[in-house]
């Protein structure tokens, strides 16, 4: 009898506890603009926020990263919403698994964090096409970030779906979303106030009926600000300067929000790894908090850009694709461990709060794997699906392909030796004649020609083109087709009649055979199995490999490329298991490699 009473008491206590939690989480709060500060339930509230992106970490890690945010002293987190993840095909939506952004926001509420939501839908974020889905490029005359009807219709459909997930989680509906950002640094792109007003209307009509704001560099606010909304400032940490700019565009009033503060930066393939010393930023963070400004550090936690979702920039006409690691030299490293930057920022933030901060989370366990042998392989020719034919080469978009690779193939007869030129190849091409690699063409280096020595009457010409990431910033957003975008010329004569084979690698379940092919120069898909007696975070060491991408237990780890600076691929322990683990590698340049290992620490700073 006593046992039953104890069980009943335990059930009642738990029911009361969870009822209290639910009641608290469903409490409707108010969040408003004061003349100089934000007002949460009528009282001054200073946002100390950090950016983190739900798809750049496994869902299993969302809570631990948020707890780390609390431990550094953050009370708010910011995140973009990524259109190309949620509507990969027109009209087909996905808010499940790692895309379940509503659950991400709810977990933040459970952990006592407020949220700043950025559903733009343009995000920049060093993300493929700035977050836009590739299929927009297939609509003739569509112009992103404009009032062009096709774009607005697609935008409207999408933002309604996003609002169905997230509008109920706004603070005025019992949730924890304090504010919602309209567009994203639009001032760098345009100045059409009608477009911005249409954005506002779309957001409100969809259900975002709380506070809206815009964000821009202090030098671009005039272009990107919509009168009546709070202008937040990106990139500045001078309190007086921020105040003067905001007041200029906000009727002489605040509050003041630095929506992107950059104590770190991202990396491009082939360029030096970025590190920014924390010492430079401590007095700036202190001065901002002392002045009572709200701030969002970009990034607090970067994580990893999985799959083919990295974007690219163009600077001085030089194409710069971004690495898969989004470590960003952020306060939390790529695995989610606190860095020295985290510790020092925490000390500054602790000065500005009366509450004792939670302890710094322990570092995640790591392992190193001595040797992994990939005994099985699939030859490149066996990877190819059914061909599509066209007189001229077709782009990825014309082939209805979002990401990955396309092989272009044709047969030349009785040709003379000469220069083969591929005009506007995007972005990286390996060229083969009768199975022998002639060379590579790298858009970063403005390469477009290889020499073709004609020694036979018949030449099977193959060109494998990789989409290295659509541009995510600036006016070239409008010029983002991939593949062979114009034509192929040999000695000034256009080559016609092409077969095209799509390799998006949305499915890596290819039939593999044992042993190794002999002296192949073509790419290859290799598979292997490695056994573990314990799990932990680890970093695949790709220094001896060439170029390609990797999957472990079906999870994409992203791209690797021997040029660096990233030389390792992060595997979170949540994606490993005791016993057998499978690994799949698509290698483009060194197809005869078979063995690799892993390290307990990353290599992100080695440029070859």
Residue 226 Cα to chain centre, angstroms: 27
Q: Residue 472: in which H helix or E strand, if any?
A: none
The answer to whether 185 is a known catalytic residue is yes
Q: SS3 of 143, please?
A: coil
The answer to whether the beta carbons of residues 603 and 570 sit under 8 Å apart is: no
d(CA 608, CA 606): 6
d(CA 568, CA 577): 20
The answer to whether the beta carbons of residues 118 and 79 sit under 8 Å apart is: yes
d(CA 374, CA 528): 4
**362: buried, middle or exposed (CB in 10 Å: 19+, 13-18, 0-12)?**
exposed
- Of 254, 210, 226, 261, the closest CA to residue 38 belongs to 254
**3-state SS string for 206-262:** HCCCCEEEEEEECCCHHHHCCCCCEEEEECCCCHHHHHHHHHHHCCCCCCCEEEEEC
The alpha carbons of the chain give a radius of gyration, in whole angstroms, of 26
Residue 188 Cα to chain centre, angstroms: 20
d(CA 564, CA 434): 30
- Of 511, 238, 573, 272, the closest CA to residue 376 belongs to 511
Contacts 24+ apart (CB under 8 A), 137-143: 137/397, 137/480, 137/481, 138/397, 138/398, 138/400, 143/478
- Of 574, 570, 569, 580, the closest CA to residue 530 belongs to 580
Provide the β-strand partners of residue 296. 49
DSSP strand pairing (31-33 vs 38-40): antiparallel
Find the catalytic residue in 126, 183, 185, 397.
Answer: 185
Contacts 24+ apart (CB under 8 A), 305-308: 305/56, 305/126, 305/127, 305/558, 306/55, 306/56, 306/555, 306/556, 306/557, 306/558, 307/403, 307/556, 307/558, 308/128, 308/402, 308/403, 308/404, 308/467, 308/469, 308/505, 308/549, 308/559
d(CA 134, CA 399): 11
Phi/psi for 106 (5° steps) reads -65, -40
CB neighbourhood size of 60 (10 A)? 12
316 Cβ neighbours under 8 A, 6+ residues apart: none
Find the catalytic residue in 260, 397, 462, 466.
Answer: 260
CB neighbourhood size of 4 (10 A)? 8
d(CA 119, CA 159): 8
**3-state SS string for 89-130:** ECCECCCCHHHCHHHHHHHHHHCCCEEEEECCCCCCCCEHHH
- Per-residue tokens: 274: 């970025």
**246: buried, middle or exposed (CB in 10 Å: 19+, 13-18, 0-12)?**
buried
Active site residues: 185, 260
């Amino acid at each position: 009898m006593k046992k039953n009473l104890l069980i009943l008491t335990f059930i009642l206590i738990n029911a009361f506890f969870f009822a209290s939690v639910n009641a608290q989480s469903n409490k409707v709060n108010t969040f408003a603009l004061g003349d100089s500060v934000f007002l949460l339930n009528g009282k001054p509230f200073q946002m100390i926020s950090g950016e983190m992106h739900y798809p750049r970490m496994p869902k299993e890690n969302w809570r631990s990263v948020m707890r780390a945010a609390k431990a550094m002293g953050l009370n708010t987190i910011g995140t973009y919403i990524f259109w190309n993840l949620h509507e990969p095909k027109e009209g087909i939506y996905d808010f499940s698994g790692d895309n379940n952004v509503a659950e991400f926001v709810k977990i933040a509420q459970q952990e006592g964090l407020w949220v700043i939501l950025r559903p733009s839908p343009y995000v920049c974020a060093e993300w493929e096409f700035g977050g836009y889905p590739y299929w927009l490029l297939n609509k003739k005359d569509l112009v992103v970030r404009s009032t062009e009807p096709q774009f607005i219709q697609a935008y409207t459909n999408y933002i309604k779906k996003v609002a169905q997930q997230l509008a109920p989680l706004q603070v005025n509906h019992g949730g924890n979303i304090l504010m919602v950002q309209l567009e994203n640094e639009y001032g760098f792109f345009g100045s059409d106030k009608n477009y911005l007003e249409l954005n506002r209307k779309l957001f409100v009509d969809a259900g975002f009926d709380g506070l809206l704001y815009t964000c821009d560099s202090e030098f671009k606010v005039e272009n990107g600000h919509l009168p009546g909304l709070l202008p937040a400032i990106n990139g500045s940490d001078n309190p007086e300067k921020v105040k003067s700019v905001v007041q200029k565009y906000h009727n002489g009033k605040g509050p003041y929000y630095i929506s992107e503060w950059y104590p770190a930066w991202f990396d491009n393939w082939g360029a030096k790894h970025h590190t920014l010393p924390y010492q430079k930023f401590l007095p700036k963070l202190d001065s901002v908090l002392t002045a009572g400004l709200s701030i969002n550090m970009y990034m607090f936690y970067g994580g990893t850009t999985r799959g083919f979702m990295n974007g690219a920039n163009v600077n001085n006409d030089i194409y710069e694709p971004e690495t898969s690691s989004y470590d960003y030299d952020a306060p939390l490293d790529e695995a989610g461990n606190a860095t020295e930057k985290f510790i020092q920022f925490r000390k500054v933030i602790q000065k500005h709060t009366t509450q004792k901060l939670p302890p710094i989370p322990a570092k995640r366990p790591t392992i190193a794997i001595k040797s992994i042998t990939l005994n099985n392989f699939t030859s490149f020719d066996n990877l190819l699906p059914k061909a599509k034919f066209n007189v001229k080469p077709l782009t990825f978009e014309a082939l209805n392909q979002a990401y990955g690779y396309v092989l272009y193939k044709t047969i030349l007869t009785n040709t003379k030796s000469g220069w083969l030129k591929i005009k506007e190849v995007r972005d990286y091409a390996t060229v083969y004649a009768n199975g022998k690699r002639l060379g590579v063409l790298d858009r970063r280096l403005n390469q477009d020609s290889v020499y073709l020595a004609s020694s036979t009457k018949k030449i099977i010409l193959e060109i494998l083109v990789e989409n290295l990431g659509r541009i995510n910033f600036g006016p070239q957003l409008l010029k983002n087709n991939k593949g062979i975008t114009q034509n192929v010329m040999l000695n000034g004569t256009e080559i016609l009649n092409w077969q095209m084979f799509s390799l998006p690698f949305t499915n890596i379940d290819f039939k593999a055979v044992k042993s190794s092919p002999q002296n192949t120069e073509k790419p290859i898909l290799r598979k292997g199995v490695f056994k573990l007696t314990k799990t932990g975070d680890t970093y695949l060491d790709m220094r001896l490999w060439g170029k390609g991408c990797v999957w472990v237990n079906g999870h994409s780890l992203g791209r690797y490329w021997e040029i660096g600076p990233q030389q390792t691929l992060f595997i979170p322990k949540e994606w490993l298991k005791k016993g057998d683990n499978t690994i799949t590698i698509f290698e483009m340049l060194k197809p005869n490699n078979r063995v690799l290992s892993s390290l307990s620490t990353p290599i992100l700073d080695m440029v070859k």
